[in-house]
Structure 1
Amino acid sequence: MHITKKRESLLLFVGDIAILTTSLWLMLLVRYLALPSMDLFMSHLEPFSILFGVWILVFFIAGLYEKHTLLLKSKLPSVILNAQLVNTAIAVFFFYAIPYFAITPKTNLFVYLVISFGLVLLWRNIGSRLFFSAVGRENALLIASGKEMRELKNEVNGNERYSVKFVSAIDIQEVTDDDFQNEIVNRVYAEDVSLVVIDIHDEKIKPILPHLYNLIFSGIHFLDMHKVYEEVFNRVPISLLQYSWFLDNLSHGQQSIYGFFKRAMDMVIAATLAIPSLCIAPFVVLAIKLDDGGKIYFTQKRLGKDNEEVR
């Protein structure tokens, strides 16, 4: 069970494609101050549809298909604007490096940047919320304590994009040991709870964990509160930052961050250069044939693993 499901990313993807296509039509409307004809629209849609694929990849790298909480909404406009600036630069290179499509939009690209930025921002803030609010949310019980518990409850309950809602919460510090187990079971059935998010690291929780095991057979799912907190806020709970956590995670953190940015850079560069390279390839083949008539692909035998010959 995950707070953010695949349907969210899929819905955002479909919505972005629709927004980018609509922005193209509106760009032509604003540019020529008349309803664009089908021929005019299709002549622009053909090259722009190629760009849409690259632009969606830029959106993905920018994190626009990951979860966004209310705390990150203030950063959303800058993320979208930066992504669209990169997309515009890619479009400029695409149209001027590949004259095949016989259109070199100058003013159009600026108009498109303004329109698409506004519509994507509107879609991400309002449109997606309407879609996600139409989907039922799963009832959940939160069992924890302290500031992190309150932050998590307020964040999830205040954002309808999450597929769960904390209909009840139990503060570990306010419940006696004798009533703890019964309190949990009673709330699970009284509130029709199907998911329990619990702080399994709390010393007060550990003695009752064997008793909560029976709830699994009633279809109740359990999640570690710290993992949910990290998933929602993209940061580790402060209460979990002990020496054991640093020993377990610090040596891997830098490598994973480096790997992410390296992979993102590889994808951006590859996507940007892929189309120009494909256009140049036929001329390279022709040049080889005209020069010496040799083979297009060069192969030779080399020694590989265990001194085996490979071609």
Structure 2
Amino acid sequence: MKRNSAVTELFKFGTFLVDSILIVTSVYISFLVLFEFNPPEYNIRPFIDIIPFIIIAYLIFMYVFGLSDLLKKSLGETIYSIGLTTIALFITTAFITFFARGFAYPRSVLIVGTVVQFVILCLWRTVVWKLNRISHGVKDSLIIGNGSLEYLTKKILLKQRDLYNIKYICNSKSKSIKGYLDEVDVVFICNDVDNQIKREIVDSCLANRKSIYIIPDIYEIALLNSKLNRADDIPMFKVQKLGLTLEQRFFKRLLDIIISLIGIIITSPIMVFVIIAIKLNDGGNIFYGQERVTENDKTFNVLKFRTMVMNAEKLTGPVLAGEEDPRITKVGRILRATRLDEVPQFFNILKGDMSVVGPRPERPFFVEQFKKEIPDYKYRTIVKAGLTGLAQVLGKYSTTPEDKVRYDILYIKNYSILLDLKLILQTIKIMFMKESSEGVKEELSLGELMLASNNEITIDIDEN
């Protein structure tokens, strides 16, 4: 049975409301414990005064770090997000109290309150996570595609098989699609399905109120945020140009200068430590300059901390780094896992070669290669390359170039200063997530994953 959308939204609102109450209650509990259940008016009054600011700050960080997603995240990811949210809230609360009767708000309450918030929120959100999974259930699903069929199937079997039971897998030429649609709740459509067939599938799903997930191509992405227009009484969509306006470019550059200066100042002690570590490791060069492609296919030298042995590509030439690449040094593995090797790029941003947020700059060798293999790759260089981006926050190191291109085009299409700020904060979240920085690796075959899942899956690949 499908969950009523109104009930779902009400459940979300209730969850966020309880979150806010628990955040405030945790601080009050800390006051009671530290002052033996009799907190003085002088100490507790500043806390009461800033309660609205604490709640607003929590809701912002909750959204930024992904706690607003009640279903798709794993329990481990949820707890990790809670940790980041409570730490960010601790810093924000300390900043607020510094300017609002800071000496009256005990620092011990800030510390203890953060610990209590983390524990209580973890317990509460574990219950919410479990209730969501029970309410959602495991939906019978159909995957339709051609060349990218196997890749999508493997992803669902690996990461979301507790949400979706893959019942049928077929290509777009199958004559049994209509029958399969009647027996499932959810339909996944790959980007390589013919538009006419895709239209028929979507029409059937809408008529029968079935959930549809579509991997977008450039046509679907182009329609995003399109404005309703008309020619006399004929309705039409005006597809916006891909790229930034002059005003957007100005404010984006202003943000780049501010963030890069702050980044250089804050990371200076870290950079000194990394410089010493690299020198002690093998005595080689500290920095590594490499030619990369940015806006309008211009090239520049990106600055990074060296993570590989000296002259690593002398024999191999340009190749992507693997998860267990022997060329990566011991210090380099730590720098790559935490993305600290990218920190010197703040100087590239300050200079104007890059932006803080944008498609990651790629090497000319790979750009030419990808342009031949991926038709939409050319759209990535409409804007400046970035230190971080949508593909880095939502993807992984091993995400396919095709999917990274989709993320990059979606970023350009949906650009705003608020989106940049959100992605900057979310980058902090992924810095310590191993999965986001893992190298290209061999995965289990689709057949092995199907056996491991114990699902009865019908495969219908019509070659005619």
- The TM-score normalised by the length of structure 1 is 0.57
Measured against aligned partners, the alpha-carbon deviations of 1:279-302 in whole angstroms (never above 9, x if no partner) come to: xxxxxxxxxxxxxxxxxxxxxxxx
Residues paired across the two proteins, number: 236
Paired residue type of 1:223: I
Query: What is the RMSD of the two structures over their aligned residues, measured on CA atoms?
Result: 4.5
Structure 2 Cα separation of the partners of residues 157 and 260 of structure 1:
33
Cα deviation code 1:66-107 (max 9, x no counterpart): 467456x555545433332232222223223222x9842221
Gaps of 5+ in 2: 218-369, 384-407, 426-464
CA distance in 2, matches of 1:214, 1:52: 43
- Aligned partner of 1:168: which letter? K
The answer to which of 52-61 and 211-220 deviates more is 211-220
Contact 1:20/1:116 (8 A) holds in 2: yes
1:224–1:61 distance in 2 versus 1, CA, 3 Å = closer
Note closer, same or farther for the CA distance 1:113–1:214 as it changes in structure 2 (3 Å cut).
closer
CA contact under 8 A between 2:144 and 2:190: conserved in structure 1? yes
1:287 paired residue number? none
**Structure-2 residue corresponding to 1:148:** 152
* Alpha-carbon distance between aligned partners in 1 of 2:168 and 2:38, rounded to the nearest angstrom: 55
Shift of 1:115: 0.7
State the partner residue of 1:215: 204
The unaligned stretches of length 5 or more in structure 1 are 160-164, 229-239, 268-311
Q: Kindly report which structure 2 residues correspond to 1:28-39, keeping only aligned pairs within 5 A, or say none.
A: 28-34=31-37
Give the match for residue 175 of structure 2: 181
Q: Shift of residue 158 of structure 1?
A: 1.8
Identify the structure with the greater helix proportion. 1
Distance 2:134 2:80 in 1: 28
Q: How do 1:154-193 and structure 2 match up within 5 A?
A: 154-159=158-163, 165-166=164-165, 168-172=167-171, 180-182=174-176, 184-189=177-182, 191=183, 193=184
Residue 48 (str. 1) matches residue 51 (str. 2)? yes
What is the alpha-carbon distance in structure 2 between the residues aligned to residue 169 and residue 67 of structure 1? 27
Larger Rg: 1
Work out whether residues 80 and 121 of structure 1, in 8 Å CA contact, stay in contact via their aligned partners in 2.
yes
Between the aligned residues of both structures, percent identity stands at 12
Taking the aligned partners of 1:150 and 1:207, their CA distance within structure 2 comes to: 26
Alignment partners' CA distance in 2, 1:118 and 1:219? 43
Q: What TM-score comes out, normalization by structure 2 length? A: 0.41
Distance in structure 1 (CA, Å) of the matches to 2:53 and 2:203: 54
What amino acid does structure 2 have at the position aligned with 1:80? I
The answer on whether the counterparts of 1:27 and 1:108 sit within 8 Å (CA) in structure 2 is yes
Q: For 1:264 and 1:258, how far apart are their aligned partners in 2?
A: 10
> How far did 1:143 drift?
2.5
SS in 2 for 1:135: helix
Structure 1 pair 141–8 and aligned structure 2 pair: CA distance change class (3 A): farther
Tell me the alpha carbon deviations over residues 123-149 of structure 1, each in whole angstroms, 9 at most, x when there is no partner. 33x122133135345654222421321
Letter in 2 for 1:122: L
- State the partner residue of 1:198: 189
Match of 1:246 in 2: 377
